Amino acid sequence: MYKKYLLLLISVTTLIVANGGAVPTVVVGEDWSFPASVQQAPNSGLYSEEASPNYNVNLKVFDVAWKQINPSQGVYATNIQATVKDMPFATFASQNASTSPFWMRIWNSGDLWAPSYVKTLCNVGVIGKDYDGEGHLPIWNTCVWNEIKAMYRYFFLTKNMRADPRLKFIQIPGAFNWCEFDFDVIGNYSTSTGYTFAQFNTWFQTAMDDLVYIFNGENNDPTDDYAYKLIYTGEDYPFDVDSWPAAKNKLASDAVNRGMGIRTGITEVSNFHLSNIPAYGYLIDSNGYMVLNKSSILQNNPKRVIATENECYNACGYKVPAANIFYAVKMSNLKALQMGVNWLYVVNNDSYLKQYTAHWNWVRLSLGRYPNTAFDAWVALRDAQDKFSYGFSWTGAPYVKNYERFLTQRDVVGAVTKRGTTKYTNVVESNNGIAYEGRQTDIPNNPSIVFYLDDQFIVPTSNISTPVQVKVTYLDNQATSWILQYTNTAGVLVSSDPVVQQGTSKALTTATFTLTDALFQNNVQPGNSDFKITTTGSQNIEIWFVRVIKQ
C-alpha cells in the first residue's frame, strides 16, 4: 500500500514539479543567525536591576520606597536613603543624576516602605503578610490611595518626570511583594479586608484612571500623554483576583484598555496559564492554537510596553537540571516572543546570557517586532499541556499546539501532523506539565507539513520575489528524506534538493535553503499554503522549528 503510494507520488511529482530548486546546507544543531544589518527595534530591549552592557542589558532600575520621597504629608524629598528587603536604595537625587535610561519602581504598599504618617493619618494597619514575611497596607483605602496618588502627581505631573526621555516605564501601582500586584501573595483579601469584590473593583477602576490621568497631564492635550509608560504588574485573567472566586474579572485587561502596558513574571513556566491571555491580546482558538486578537490596542501601539521576566531557571526556588537548561531558556523566550513582548527582564547569570549568547542575541533583536518590521517569521512545532483550568475547552485540550510568530502551521487534509517523539515533563516546575516537541508527518496519507506566512510579513499580492532563507530544524532520528516546496515567480511548484537524513545522530539538525525566486501567494496545495515540507523517504520526518528570514 505504501510503496504504491510512493510510486504515484513520484510520477505526479515529475509531471508538475520543477526540480533543481534550492540546495540545502545541513549543519548539526539549532541556528539563531540573522542578517548582519539587523538592529534592535525601537522601544524594545533587555532590562534588569543592573545594566550589563556586555550582554546588551542597558536599561537599569530606579528604585525608591514611598517613605524616601514623601516622608510626611505633602512633603516631598529627594535626599533620603532607604533599605528595602536588605537592598540599599540610593537617594532619589543620586539616582536621578543618571545620564542613562532607566525603568522605575516606587515601593508603596509595604509597612516598611510607606511613610509612617500614613498609618496614623488613615487609621490603617497591616492587612496581611507576603511570602517574605513583610506586612502590607491596604492601598485601596481611600485615604491611603489619596496619599499615594498625591505622591505620583507631585513627581510625574508637577515635576514632569513622566516626560523625562530617560524614563522608559514604571511598574504600577507599586504594591505587594516585589511590587508585583498579585492578589494572592498576602493571603485572602476578601477575608482580610472585609471588602466585597464590587467595593474593591470600584477602587481599582478609579485608581487606574487616576494614574492614567496624571500621566496624560490631567488635560485633553494628546501631545503631553505618557500613560503608555505605566505598566500594570498584575497577573492576566483569570489570575487577577483569586480571593473573590465568584467575581473573576479582567482587571489586567481593564488597565491595558485604559492605556497602560503590562508585565507578567512567570514565562519560565512557559506552558502554564499563558495560552489565553486577553490583556496581552492573545487567545486560544477552538483548534488549540494561540492567536492574536487583531483588535488588541496594546499589540497595535508601538509606544506601549509588553513585558515579562525570564530568569528563574536555577533561581527563585526553581531547579532545572543541566541537560534541560537550554531547553527551558529557549522555550520561555519563544513564549515571550509569541506574546508580543518588547521589553524582557533578565538577570545576568540567572538568565544564562553568557552561556547562550547566540540565542539571546536573536531574542533581543526579535523583541518589539511587528509583521512588517520583523526580519524573520518562525514557528516552533509542538504540543504541550496547559494545566491551568480556563473553564472552557478546545480541540485537543488541555494540549496547545505550537509557538508561532508571523508563521503558522495548520493541519489540513494531506498534511495532518502527529506529535513529535521527544517528551519533556515538568521542566522548571510541575505546573509546566508535559510537552512533546516537534511535529511529524504521517505517511502515507499525510506526507506534508504546510506553512502560512503572515501576509504583512511578505505581501502575497506582490509578484516580485522577496529573497529569503528558510531554516528548518529537524530531529535526525531515522533514515529518510524530505524536500521543501514553494511556488516560484513563473507560478511553478519548485522542489528543493532533498535533505537526506541518516537517522544516526539523533541530534537536532538545521537545513538552510536560500530562495531567490519564491512567491508566497497562498497557492501551494494542500490547504492553500505558502510552502510545505514533504517526506520523500520511507519514514516520517520530525520538524521542530521553521524560520523564514528576509535577506
Ligand X SMILES: *[C@@H]1O[C@H](CO)[C@@H](O)[C@H](O)[C@H]1NC(C)=O
Give whichever of 278 and 460 is closer to ligand X, judged by the CB atom.
278
Give whichever of 277 and 493 is closer to ligand X, judged by the CB atom.
277
DSSP state of 497: P
Give whichever of 120 and 295 is closer to ligand X, judged by the CB atom.
295
Cell of 188: 485572602
HSE (CB half, 13 Å, CA atoms) of 305?
30
The contact mask relative to ligand X for 448-487 (x = CB under 6 A, - = no) is ---------------x------------------------
Count the neighbouring beta carbons within 10 Å of the beta carbon of residue 85: 13
3-class state of residue 383 by DSSP: strand
Give whichever of 384 and 519 is closer to ligand X, judged by the CB atom.
519
Interacting residue with ligand X among 9, 283, 459, 500 (CB under 6 A): 283
Interacting residue with ligand X among 25, 116, 191, 430 (CB under 6 A): 191
Does residue 496 interact with ligand X by CB under 6 A?
no
Contact 84/113 with Cβ under 8 angstroms?
A: yes
- Piece in contact with ligand X (CB under 6 A), picked from 242-250, 301-309, 404-412, 440-448: 242-250
Interacting residue with ligand X among 125, 245, 396, 467 (CB under 6 A): 245
- Piece in contact with ligand X (CB under 6 A), picked from 32-40, 188-196, 230-238, 523-531: 188-196
Interacting residue with ligand X among 43, 243, 264, 535 (CB under 6 A): 243
Cell of 142: 481611600
Of 102, 255, 259, which is closest to residue 169 (Cα–Cα)? Answer: 102
Buried (b) or exposed (e) across 105-119, using 16+ Cβ within 10 A? bbbbbbbebbbebbe
In the window 154-173, what residues touch ligand X (CB under 6 A)?
155, 159
Interacting residue with ligand X among 296, 361, 409, 535 (CB under 6 A): 296
CA 87 to chain centre: 29
The contact mask relative to ligand X for 88-117 (x = CB under 6 A, - = no) is --------x---------------------
3-class state of residue 365 by DSSP: helix
CA distance 296 to 173: 23
Q: What is the nearest approach in angstroms of ligand X to the Cβ of residue 295?
A: 4
CA distance 507 to 26: 12
CA distance 279 to 299: 10
CA distance 187 to 184: 5
Q: What are the residue ranges of helices labelled H in 140-196?
A: 142-152, 189-193
Does residue 190 interact with ligand X by CB under 6 A?
yes
Interacting residue with ligand X among 28, 291, 297, 507 (CB under 6 A): 297
Does residue 79 interact with ligand X by CB under 6 A?
no
Does residue 78 interact with ligand X by CB under 6 A?
yes
Interacting residue with ligand X among 135, 278, 503, 526 (CB under 6 A): 278
Give whichever of 159 and 387 is closer to ligand X, judged by the CB atom.
159
**E strands of 181-281, at which residues?**
230-232, 261-263
The contact mask relative to ligand X for 35-54 (x = CB under 6 A, - = no) is --------------------
By rule CB under 6 A, what count of residues binds ligand X?
Answer: 19
Does residue 324 interact with ligand X by CB under 6 A?
no
Q: What is the 3-state secondary structure (H, E, C) of 397-437?
A: CCEEEEEEEEEEEECECCECCEEEEEEEECCCCHHHCEEEE
Of 295, 293, 297, which is closest to residue 261 (Cα–Cα)? Answer: 297
- Piece in contact with ligand X (CB under 6 A), picked from 29-37, 238-246, 428-436, 496-504: 238-246
Chain residues binding ligand X by CB under 6 A are 78, 96, 155, 159, 188, 190-191, 242-243, 245, 257, 278, 283, 293, 295-297, 349, 463
